[in-house]
Chains A and B, each alone.
Chain A
């Protein structure tokens, strides 16, 4: 928490190192594209399969599309994206900063009169908050595409109705809702990754521990705060 306040303090203070921000945005955003797209595709696909199985009992197959789209936009898109990025980038932050800590590179920054929170933590947090909504938007889109592929091409739901119901019942609020949550998750995973790395003490073993802990703590916080955020925004 204190780390977050300190990071915010440095956010409004020069120098801003644009190169570091872009590097982190590339690391968190661009490099996560493939895993996020892949998981979103299969989530959309399996969701369609399950929903179809249940909705067929009420002859409500044409509502499968909108159900999948809403689930992806409001819940699964943000959560799955956040969990994947935690695994990829959040743990890497803990490992990288943790290694820098135990090899005195963090001290070296301080000695060179460069604030390590501003240099290491701030760009990662900003990149997390900015990139997660973008990745989530992509994952929602791909999830729906996956749903369409399975629903229309495999299960034979009417394509026009599938899409039409999505246009009809999904509004921008649902999208915003998901993107806002994604930004919160981005903050959580970057902050936890940096925190665990920043306060690593000891040797190689503690870097490993920091990495694992950041992964577990981020995932738990993402899933619990997801409930709280949804409840608050209902």
Chain B
């Protein structure tokens, strides 16, 4: 399958700390790809490269074949409309109601009439399993509800690519499973390419079509969940089994 997102030789340092060291990554269309790795391994930095919130020091970031590494902000804006993103803390605008949050990208980027926008908003909210929540404020919602509103907002413009930054962190197991199910459904029903970053190995195994493991600034393993299970590398084995003993030093 052709890659929709491709990173070639991406390097990024913050001060003296080198976070990405000549990273190569190729994500294929119409699948759920999960990037796993320890906390602080640079997963968030990686996903922010994909959407141009962080620019690489070196290397290329190709979105549908177009290099965005050195694109100006105005062209970048049109690239970003291909994306929806669910942030780790949901990043809902807390001065707006749930409805206004989901409607926000629609008001900003389309000229649809209010009625139609309201219908789209209820449809998206229904798709993530929320009903009659339109007039609540984000502060009144639980973490899991906020995540789902965040997902509804990310899906509002029917993006080609949806990015998930630690979608299940801080949720109870049932809510985490609900979110994981939504990720799979987002891909299946909306036909979007999903990129998830997570340290939740069980969730990664159950939702991902392809898994990538990020370690010390590089992708050290890539394959289907089964292939990753059998991966012949002590680092990968230590991570997926959550052992304290092994080559990964615990800082």
Chain A interface residue bracket vs B: 10 to 19
Q: A104-B87, A104-B88, A115-B73 are in contact. Are A110 and B53 (CB under 8 A)?
A: yes
Does A2 sit within 8 A of B, measured CB to CB?
A: no
A118 to chain B, nearest CB (A): 11
B60-100, CB < 8 A from A: 73, 77-78, 80-81, 83, 85, 87-89, 91-94
In the assembly, what is the distance between CA of A108 and CA of B94, in Å? 12
B138 to chain A, nearest CB (A): 10
Q: Is the CB of B89 within 8 A of A112?
A: no
Apart from A112-B104, A112-B108, 20 more pairs, CB < 8 Å: A15-B108, A103-B89, A103-B91, A104-B87, A104-B88, A104-B91, A105-B91, A105-B93, A107-B53, A107-B91, A111-B51, A111-B80, A111-B85, A112-B80, A112-B105, A113-B78, A113-B81, A114-B108, A115-B73, A115-B77
Q: Which residue of A lies closest to B78 (CB)?
A: A113
In the assembly, what is the distance between CA of A188 and CA of B105, in Å? 31
- Chain B residues within 8 Å of A104, by CB: 87-89, 91
In the assembly, what is the distance between CA of A104 and CA of B51, in Å? 14
Q: Can you list 29 residue pairs at the A/B interface with Cβ under 8 Å? A: A15-B108, A100-B93, A103-B89, A103-B91, A103-B94, A104-B87, A104-B88, A104-B89, A104-B91, A105-B92, A105-B94, A107-B53, A107-B87, A107-B91, A108-B85, A110-B53, A110-B80, A111-B51, A111-B53, A111-B80, A111-B83, A111-B85, A112-B105, A113-B78, A113-B80, A113-B81, A113-B108, A115-B73, A115-B77
| Contact surface of A with B, Cβ cutoff 8 Å | 15, 100, 103-105, 107-108, 110-115
- Bitwise, B148-173 to A at CB < 8 A (1) or not (0) is 00000000000000000000000000
- Chain B residues within 8 Å of A114, by CB: 108
- Chain B residues within 8 Å of A15, by CB: 108
Does B243 sit within 8 A of A, measured CB to CB?
A: no
In the assembly, what is the distance between CA of A100 and CA of B81, in Å? 21
Q: Which residue of B lies closest to A13 (CB)?
A: B74
B35-53, CB < 8 A from A: 48, 51, 53
Tell me which of A100, A107, A111 has the highest count of chain B C-beta atoms within 10 A of its own C-beta.
A111
The 7 tightest CB contacts between A and B, nearest first, are A104-B91, A108-B91, A113-B77, A113-B80, A104-B87, A111-B85, A112-B105
In the assembly, what is the distance between CA of A178 and CA of B139, in Å? 43
In the assembly, what is the distance between CA of A71 and CA of B226, in Å? 80
Does B109 sit within 8 A of A, measured CB to CB?
A: yes
In the assembly, what is the distance between CA of A185 and CA of B230, in Å? 66
Q: Which residue of A lies closest to B105 (CB)?
A: A112
Q: Which residue of A lies closest to B88 (CB)?
A: A104
- Chain B residues within 8 Å of A108, by CB: 85, 87, 91, 93
B241 to chain A, nearest CB (A): 32
In the assembly, what is the distance between CA of A115 and CA of B78, in Å? 12
Q: Which residue of B lies closest to A107 (CB)?
A: B53
In the assembly, what is the distance between CA of A100 and CA of B90, in Å? 12
In the assembly, what is the distance between CA of A108 and CA of B92, in Å? 8
Tell me which of B51, B73, B80, B91 has the highest count of chain A C-beta atoms within 10 A of its own C-beta.
B91
- Chain B residues within 8 Å of A112, by CB: 80, 104-105, 108-109
B99-154, CB < 8 A from A: 104-105, 108-109
- Chain B residues within 8 Å of A111, by CB: 51, 53, 80, 83, 85
Q: Which residue of B lies closest to A99 (CB)?
A: B94
- Chain A residues within 8 Å of B77, by CB: 113, 115
A16 to chain B, nearest CB (A): 13
Q: Which residue of A lies closest to B93 (CB)?
A: A105
In the assembly, what is the distance between CA of A223 and CA of B81, in Å? 45
A102 to chain B, nearest CB (A): 9
- Chain B residues within 8 Å of A103, by CB: 89, 91, 94
